[in-house]
């Protein structure tokens, strides 16, 4: 049987991604017992699955898992307060593992993305997505990672704070930026 070049490249890429994910997952899984110990409702497997899911939905290489752990902690807090949320999260993780044919958290990143696309219209996906959106992008520490200084309204707006903070651009000629009246 002769393998086609495209198929060889695709399978090779998946294998490399799988080995990389397994190596990275091993280090995070070893620490899972530590960060999941404070969770009240979610077990370590559910927490790890939700962490991987949040990282795939909002992927940022420059953000460490610590920011995504905050997403899981927020989901756990809501699951503790609302039994319906706890049931939905537990059922969603079980369904994701069923789609995976094993454990979603152990799958390589490209496979996880394909699996998430299968559930992207479910309330479970929407709950994780919306919680991650708020948890990540309302976090001032994340803002610092991205170089966002926050709102400029308290400082008189962007005209007086942040407008000319583009240090990576050359200074424009005076005619391009006339002084305000």
pLDDT on residue 48: 97
pLDDT on residue 27: 41
Residue 62 DSSP symbol: T
pLDDT on residue 163: 61
Residue 121 DSSP symbol: T
Does pTM surpass 0.85?
Answer: no
What is d(CA 9, CA 2) in angstroms, rounded to the nearest whole number? 14
Q: What is the mean pLDDT of each run of 10 residues along the chain (181 residues)?
A: 55 48 45 84 97 98 96 98 98 97 96 97 98 96 88 74 64 74 69
Map residue 63 onto helix, strand or coil: coil
Any idea where the domains of the chain sit in the sequence?
34-138
Question: What would you report as the CA-atom Rg of the chain, rounded to the nearest whole angstrom?
Answer: 21
Tokens of 85: 């949320």
- Name which of 28, 101, 40, 117 is nearest 74 in CA terms: 40
């Amino acid at each position: 049987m002769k393998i086609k070049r495209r198929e060889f490249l695709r399978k090779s890429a998946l294998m490399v991604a799988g080995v990389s994910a397994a190596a990275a997952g091993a280090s995070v899984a070893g620490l899972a017992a530590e960060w999941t110990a404070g969770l009240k409702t979610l077990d370590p497997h559910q927490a790890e699955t939700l962490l991987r899911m949040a990282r795939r939905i909002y992927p940022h290489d420059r953000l460490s898992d610590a920011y995504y752990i905050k997403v899981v902690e927020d989901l756990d807090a809501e699951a503790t307060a609302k039994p319906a949320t706890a049931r939905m999260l537990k059922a969603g993780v079980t369904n994701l593992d069923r789609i995976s044919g094993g454990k979603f958290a152990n799958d390589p990143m490209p496979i996880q993305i394909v699996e998430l696309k299968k559930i992207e219209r479910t309330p479970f996906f929407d709950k994780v997505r919306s919680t991650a959106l708020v948890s990540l992008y309302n976090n001032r520490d994340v803002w610092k990672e991205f170089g966002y200084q926050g709102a400029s309204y308290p400082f008189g707006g962007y005209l007086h704070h942040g407008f000319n903070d583009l240090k990576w651009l050359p200074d424009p000629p005076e005619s391009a930026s006339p002084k305000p009246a």
